[in-house]
Structure 1
Amino acid sequence: MSRLAIRAVALGLAAASLAGCGFRGASSLPLPGGQGNGAGAYDLTIEFSDVLDLVVQS
């Protein structure tokens, strides 16, 4: 391998390892649409009799 290739691989590995340190899983990513916080946003309170089928962040 040439020196340039070795440096590129080392830089890529370093960047990947540093970028992966703060990842807390797919649940930490924002959902499309996200939380409404504009002028027309409002809160809802809903009661379910059975919530066993709900997925995370639903």
Structure 2
Amino acid sequence: MAAGRRLTGWQIGGLTGQEVRRERLADPAAAPYTSEITLCPAWGKVTRIARELL
């Protein structure tokens, strides 16, 4: 994973993309960076499949 990137609850099956965006916009510290944050559903899928294999 590239520097500065993290998996979120959304990526492992927690929140929807819209819910994550609303949460970021509601957070005064995160809101200015919302446009710089990209959600990657592919990583979430990989994580869910890996969890099923365990």
- For the superposition of Structure 1 and Structure 2, which TM-score range results when normalised by the shorter chain? under 0.3
TM-score by length of 1: 0.24
* Bigger Rg, which one: 1
TM-score by length of 2: 0.25
Name the structure, 1 or 2, with higher relative contact order (CA <8 Å, separation 6+). Answer: 2
Query: Larger helix proportion, structure 1 or 2?
Result: 2
